[in-house]
Amino acid sequence: MSRILSAEGVTFEFTVPVVVIGGGAAGMIAALAAHERGAEVLVLERDALPQGSTALSAGLIPAPGTRWQRAAGIEDSPERFAADIIAKAKGEPDPADVSRVARAVGPALEWLADRYGLPFSVVDNFTYPGHSARRMHGLPSRSGAELIDRLRGAVEAAGIDVLCEAHVTALYADDGPRVRGVEVTRPDGSVERVGCAALILACNGYGGNRALVERHVPELADALYFGHPGNQGDALLWGEALGAATRHLSGHQGHGSVAHPAGILVTWATVTEGGVQVNTEGKRFSNEAQGYSEQAAVVLRQPDGIAWTVFDERIAAVARQFEDFRQAEAMGAVLSADSPADLARLMKVDADALAATLAEVGRLKAAGGSDGFGRSFAGSAPLVAPYRAVRVTGALFHTQGGLVVDDGARVVSGEGAPLPNLYAAGGAACGVSGSKASGYLSGNGLLTAVALGRIAGAAAADAVKEESTP
């Protein structure tokens, strides 16, 4: 339904200076930023309640040089963060794109805290793969559900209009190509036409569109999709139809640790703190510590697409700061046993194989050595009873490629010129992960939602005010 219709002769029921499509983190932050600059804003959300993929995430946002880091004695900078992003993605992302978001995200978090009361704090008790500093910031529950709830509350308190159950099914554009408005389809099938002076695409990527996933990320075509079903690639398809440049469309975030069949994200701290993954034969099969995104496809290549993450009570105590992990425990998804043999019985895997695997891991940890997969266990604490295990599968979370944007988050054409009044943020815009799952640095999704959301909202409001000034 991602159509571009001619705006010629079209009458709009009403017109709003800035329209935002999508009520996730990117859309809500864009709306707050535009409103603060004095623009009237309307957020259009296809669901009955704005949640988006943000609600399904851990709600953690990487940001360098923040006051929370300084209070915790963590040294960091935008330059260091940018270097980590580029290193993880093997030099693929445009350095200017990386610098733009690395510099913008810290001030954006402090703005959300100061102006809208979001109580961020830094995760200071473990480091995510690829990050050279502890820079993940989250709200008290460490959940994406809390993040979107608080952003929605801030938008409501600001008096910004959010129209729910409003599915944008087409854009109206002239030959410019300037977007003049949108077609909104309601649940009863009725259609409204809303005009706009600027349009911000904050409706994420195409993870929920199986045909597009098969085309661009074939290795995850049959994977569990753990993103929002509304991520149908509308922004990408509209942008392409308007002549926008796209980049890294095969880029994506996977996750190798979604509890199965519970469907709950299990924090990767279970691995980074010294846990391991085994398959249904009780054997390790990879360097789990490389990153959770690339681990999705690795897990899916195991028998039945299943793995077990094995850890201990010390690691579980770290993981309990996350609401998702507490839910997984409450549902009985996390098994507990006092010996490898008892754990194997609960897991229904070969006891001798699991015992041999854990014994080898123990030897590597004691010696500070590396295994045949290239994982170093230097400085890693031994696993001790009581042991824990959770059955997991690999999943696709969201896509990372998308529309190319400039410093003002304006969508640019294939020739590099900005389209007249079209902006993109979050998963609608090309991210900073390159073309492969392995290029995804933890938090890159919410990084571009927060940073580009604020940039897009401010830039759209400024452009609208400039055009309206005689």
Per-residue pLDDT at 470:
66
What average pLDDT does range 331-356 have in this prediction?
98
What average pLDDT does range 391-407 have in this prediction?
96
The confidence band for 56, taking pLDDT boundaries of 50, 70 and 90, is confident
Q: How far is CA 299 from CA 103, 350, 380, in A?
A: 34, 19, 23
Tell me if 223 sits within 8 A of 40, measured CB to CB.
no
Per-residue pLDDT at 324:
92
Task: Dump pLDDT digits (tens) for 158-193.
Answer: 999 999 999 999 999 999 899 999 999 999 999 999
Q: What domains does the chain contain, in order, with CATH numbers?
A: 3-246+401-468 (3.50.50.60), 252-396 (3.90.700.10)
Coil, strand or helix at 230: coil
Task: Dump pLDDT digits (tens) for 411-433.
Answer: 999 999 999 999 999 999 999 99
CA dist 46 and 364 (Å) reads 51
What average pLDDT does range 239-257 have in this prediction?
96
Residue type, 178: R
What average pLDDT does range 394-418 have in this prediction?
96
Main-chain dihedrals φ then ψ at residue 329, nearest 5 degrees: -65, -45
Asked whether the predicted pLDDT for residue 217 surpasses 80, the reply is yes
Give 166-201 as a DSSP string. Answer: -EEEEEEE-SS--EEEEEEE-TTS-EEEEEEEEEEE
Task: Dump pLDDT digits (tens) for 134-147.
Answer: 999 999 999 999 99
Per-residue pLDDT at 27:
98
Which residue, among 433, 446, 445, has the nearest Cα to 89 in the 3D structure?
Answer: 433
Please give the distance of CA 365 from its chain centroid, rounded to a whole number.
Answer: 32
Q: How many CB atoms lie within 10 A of CB 250?
A: 16
Asked whether the predicted pLDDT for residue 1 surpasses 60, the reply is no
Q: How many CB atoms lie within 10 A of CB 157?
A: 11
The pTM assigned to this predicted structure is 0.91
Per-residue pLDDT at 57:
86
Tell me if 169 sits within 8 A of 185, measured CB to CB.
yes
What average pLDDT does range 77-103 have in this prediction?
98
What average pLDDT does range 452-458 have in this prediction?
98
Least confident of 43-57, 101-115, 134-148, 305-319: 43-57
Largest CA distance in the chain: 80
Least confident of 15-19, 57-61, 111-115, 222-226: 222-226
Tell me if 429 sits within 8 A of 448, measured CB to CB.
yes
CA dist 367 and 214 (Å) reads 44
